[in-house]
Amino acid sequence: MLLSIIIILAYFIGSIPTAVWLGKYFHGIDVRDHGSKNAGATNTFRILGKRLGWTVLMIDIFKGSLCASLPFLFKDYYLGFKDEELILQLCGGFSAVLGHVFPVYAGFRGGKGVATSLGIVLGINPVGAIICLCLFLLIFISFRFVSLGAITAAMALPFISFFLLKEDQRIMIIFTIILSFVVIAAHRKNIGRLLRGEENKMNLLKKKA
């Protein structure tokens, strides 16, 4: 019962379409009709500028951290089995990513789950999240491809987690593999454009790309 509650709550929190709502509220624009047609921070930077872009990015990261922290609100209802808290965190986090990618509030057309995934890992394995973020920034600064940075960080996450997690946390390796697969699958069109040399470069510090 507790697991179901956390999964449902996390899905509805993750489903909050930050880019869509803020774009419509401040500019009367649905970012899914422009640019990459993706309801995420990168497309918001590209279409609506850095102020809303950073706002969407921070909120989407917070969504992930919040959902990974939901089990702490229900500690009095734990059953006491092994790894219960971590399992609840992982299920809540994964449900939040699914909500972000397939948001019930926005016709199930959402973002790619990168920022929300970062928030989840920050909430559970902050050192791993920081390493992945540094890897993302290294790739992005070097090549100016947001997608390439996100894909590289997603692929590296399971390996980084393997070396950082304690023995009793190794169940998270399975989670990171699934999470990486979801993020990479969400970037399948970007991968095609990268292979064809058609992917757009980006500078997140510019007002508009």
Residue 48 falls within a domain, yes or no? yes
Per-residue model confidence (pLDDT) at position 138: 96
**Tens digit of pLDDT for each residue in 145-186?**
999 999 999 999 999 988 887 766 677 888 889 989 989 998
pLDDT of residue 167: 66
Residue 76 has pLDDT above 90, yes or no: no
Residue 202 located in a structural domain: no
Rounded Cα–Cα distance for residues 132 and 176 (Å)? 12
Round the average pLDDT of the chain to a whole number and report it.
90
The answer to whether residue 208 sits within a structural domain is no
> Between 75 and 22, whose confidence is greater?
22
Do the domain assignments include residue 207? no
- Does 78 map to a domain? yes
Task: State percent of the chain over pLDDT 70.
Answer: 94
- Rounded distance between C-alpha atoms, residue 44 and residue 112, angstroms: 13
Q: Is residue 14 part of a domain?
A: yes
| Residue 90 within a domain | yes
In angstroms and rounded to an integer, the radius of gyration of the C-alpha atoms of the chain is: 17
The structural domain count of the chain equals 1
Cα separation, 41 vs 73, whole angstroms: 28
Tokens of 168: 């009793």
Tokens 């894909």 -> residue: 151
Question: How far is the C-alpha of 135 from the C-alpha of 87, rounded, in Å?
Answer: 27
pLDDT category at 205 given cuts 50, 70, 90 is low
Please report whether residue 203 resides in a domain.
no
Burial 113-122 (b: 16+ CB within 10 A, else e): bbbbbbbbbb
Domain extent, residue 64, equals 2-104+112-196
Provide the pLDDT for residue 15: 97
pTM to 2 decimals? 0.86
